[in-house]
């Protein structure tokens, strides 16, 4: 049992190589062990490319026969872009398969396990399940809800201000914290902000770290098309931009943006409802959404019960001012009982700033 846990931890570590680059697929790691030695390792690194088990079994070669395979997610049983991994494990002649968690994808959901067992392979399920579920929380949420996993992000002062009373917000946190934000952006399918943030900060919302990566989609909530035609997100063509509007916009106005390559998406109602936005994004295969403000947009997501995780960067500064905005605006909850409860998952220093990652408790 102890050895099993050791090898499954290794498989989880290998799986982490794919974090942020496998969407809309899960991250998966596999380890092949024979005669007390690791003979194969593999991770799924990109949608459409080889699954973790294929890499690991190929590496093991003949040594896969009679081996134990540790895999962080149930092996697939369906023909996708690659043939089923369950079949591969059977053909390779493995003796035992240890699986951390089952695949909620209705195309798999237990069928992979059944297939292995029917072929006479010993299968154990559930070792380090919590860790494996946490690793694929984005994918599992998307499969179950059919809407993206939502992370609210903000930077604030130690007294909880996201800008000064006059609206200045560049920069509250350190360069190191901003670099960390870029890393998180790169792990999401899309970034979303409200039109006031575009008007106040003219952000680029691109990933600017290390070697150039693919930028996530940029989404602006802008009921009446007030986004300036010369805003970075409209003109720079660094990433795709969608502006989501209410139903009442004029098509002449919309065309000016579309000529610049921006997609205008009117919602069915006069006002933009967060649930409608999430449904639309889910249909467009956006599995993860990074909401970067401002405070009114955060409030709307909170009220819609649409937040999965919060990432806060807290700078050792006091800004003060009754009128200075805080991370979540609007009316807020009037009773403490209604407050959104979170579990702190991670607490670390990023340069001089504190980074807090918290998951929303499901009630």
148 or 293: CB nearest ligand NDP: 293
- What does 51 interact with, of Zn ion, ligand NDP, none (CB < 5 to 8 A by kind)? Zn ion
Lay out the sheet containing 37-43: strands in order across.
37-43, 29-34, 68-73, 96-101, 122-125
- What does 52 interact with, of Zn ion, ligand NDP, none (CB < 5 to 8 A by kind)? none
Look up residue 225 and give its DSSP letter.
-
> If you write DSSP's letter for every residue of 131-158 in order, what string do you get?
HHHHHTHHHHHHHHHSS-EEEEEEEEET
- What does 295 interact with, of Zn ion, ligand NDP, none (CB < 5 to 8 A by kind)? ligand NDP
103 or 309: CB nearest Zn ion: 103
Distance, CA of 337 to CA of 348 (rounded, Å): 29
Least distance in angstroms from the C-beta of 337 to ligand NDP = 24
Distance, CA of 274 to CA of 305 (rounded, Å): 9
Q: Is 129 in the site for ligand NDP (CB under 6 A)?
A: no
Residue where the block lists tokens 């195309």: 107
From candidates 31, 39, 56, 76, binder to Zn ion by CB under 5 A: 76
Residue where the block lists tokens 């130690």: 158
Query: How many residues are there in the chain?
Result: 363
Maximal CA-CA distance, the chain: 70
85 or 286: CB nearest Zn ion: 85
Interface region with Zn ion, contact rule CB under 5 A, candidates 58-66, 74-82, 208-216, 272-280: 74-82
Nearest Cα neighbor of 312 from 177, 123, 175, 186 is 177
- What does 116 interact with, of ligand NDP, Zn ion, none (CB < 5 to 8 A by kind)? none
20 or 203: CB nearest ligand NDP: 203
The helix/strand/coil state of 122 is strand
- What does 23 interact with, of ligand NDP, Zn ion, none (CB < 5 to 8 A by kind)? none
41 or 306: CB nearest Zn ion: 41
Q: What is the 3-state secondary structure (H, E, C) of 261-279?
A: CCEEEECCCCCCCHHHHHH
* C-alpha separations of 327 from 153, 311, 324, 360 in Å: 9, 11, 10, 16
* C-alpha separations of 107 from 23, 54, 126, 342, 361 in Å: 17, 19, 20, 33, 29
Question: Residues in contact with Zn ion, total (CB under 5 A)?
Answer: 3
Q: Is 86 in the site for Zn ion (CB under 5 A)?
A: no
- What does 85 interact with, of ligand NDP, Zn ion, none (CB < 5 to 8 A by kind)? Zn ion
- What does 157 interact with, of ligand NDP, Zn ion, none (CB < 5 to 8 A by kind)? none
Contact status, residue 74 vs residue 11, Cβ threshold 8 Å: no
Phi, psi of 301 (to 5 degrees): -65, -40
From candidates 39, 152, 281, 297, binder to ligand NDP by CB under 6 A: 297
From candidates 26, 42, 75, 293, binder to ligand NDP by CB under 6 A: 293
Least distance in angstroms from the C-beta of 88 to Zn ion = 8
Residue ranges in 92-131 that form contacts with Zn ion under rule CB under 5 A: none
Catalytic positions, please? 53
Least distance in angstroms from the C-beta of 124 to Zn ion = 18
Q: Is 329 in the site for ligand NDP (CB under 6 A)?
A: yes
Nearest Cα neighbor of 8 from 73, 64, 77, 61 is 73
Count the neighbouring beta carbons within 10 Å of the beta carbon of residue 52. 29
Residue ranges in 172-201 that form contacts with ligand NDP under rule CB under 6 A: 172, 193-197, 200-201
Q: Please tell me whether the peptide bond between 171 and the residue prior to it is cis, using omega within 30 degrees of 0.
A: yes
4 or 276: CB nearest ligand NDP: 276
Residues that bind ligand NDP (CB under 6 A): 154-155, 162-163, 167, 169, 172, 193-197, 200-201, 221-224, 226, 272, 274, 292-297, 300, 325, 329
Residues that bind Zn ion (CB under 5 A): 51, 76, 85
């Amino acid at each position: 049992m102890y050895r099993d846990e050791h090898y499954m931890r290794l498989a989880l570590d290998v799986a982490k190589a794919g974090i942020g680059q496998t969407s809309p697929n899960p991250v998966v790691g596999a380890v092949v062990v024979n005669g007390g030695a690791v003979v194969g390792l593999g991770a799924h690194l990109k949608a459409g490319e080889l699954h973790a088990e294929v890499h690991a079994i190929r590496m093991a070669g003949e040594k896969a026969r009679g081996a134990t395979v540790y895999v962080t997610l149930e092996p697939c049983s369906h023909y996708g872009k690659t043939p089923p991994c369950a079949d591969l494990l059977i053909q390779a002649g493995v003796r035992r398969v240890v699986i951390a968690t089952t695949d909620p994808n209705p195309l798999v959901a237990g069928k992979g396990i059944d297939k292995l067992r029917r072929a006479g392979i010993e299968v154990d399920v559930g070792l380090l399940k919590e860790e494996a579920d946490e690793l694929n929380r984005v994918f599992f949420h998307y499969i179950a809800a059919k809407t993206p996993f939502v992370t609210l992000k903000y930077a604030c002062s130690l007294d909880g201000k996201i800008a000064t009373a006059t609206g200045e917000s560049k920069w509250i946190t350190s360069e190191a914290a901003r670099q960390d934000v870029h890393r998180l952006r790169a792990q999401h399918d899309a970034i979303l902000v409200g039109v006031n943030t575009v008007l106040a900060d003219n952000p680029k919302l691109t990933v600017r770290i290390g070697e150039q990566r693919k930028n996530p989609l940029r989404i602006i909530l802008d009921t009446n098309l007030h986004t300036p035609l010369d805003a970075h997100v409209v003109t720079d063509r660094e990433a795709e931009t969608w502006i989501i509007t209410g139903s009442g916009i004029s098509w002449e106005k919309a065309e000016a943006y579309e000529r610049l390559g921006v997609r205008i998406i009117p919602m069915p109602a006069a006002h933009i409802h967060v649930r409608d936005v999430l449904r639309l994004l889910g249909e467009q295969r956006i599995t993860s959404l990074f909401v970067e403000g401002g405070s009114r947009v955060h409030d709307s997501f909170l009220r819609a019960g649409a937040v999965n995780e919060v990432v806060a960067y807290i700078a050792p500064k006091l800004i003060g001012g009754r009128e200075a905005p805080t991370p979540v605006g609007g009316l807020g909850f009037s009773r403490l009982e209604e407050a959104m409860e979170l579990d702190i998952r991670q607490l670390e220093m990023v340069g001089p700033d504190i980074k807090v990652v918290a998951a929303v408790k499901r009630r």
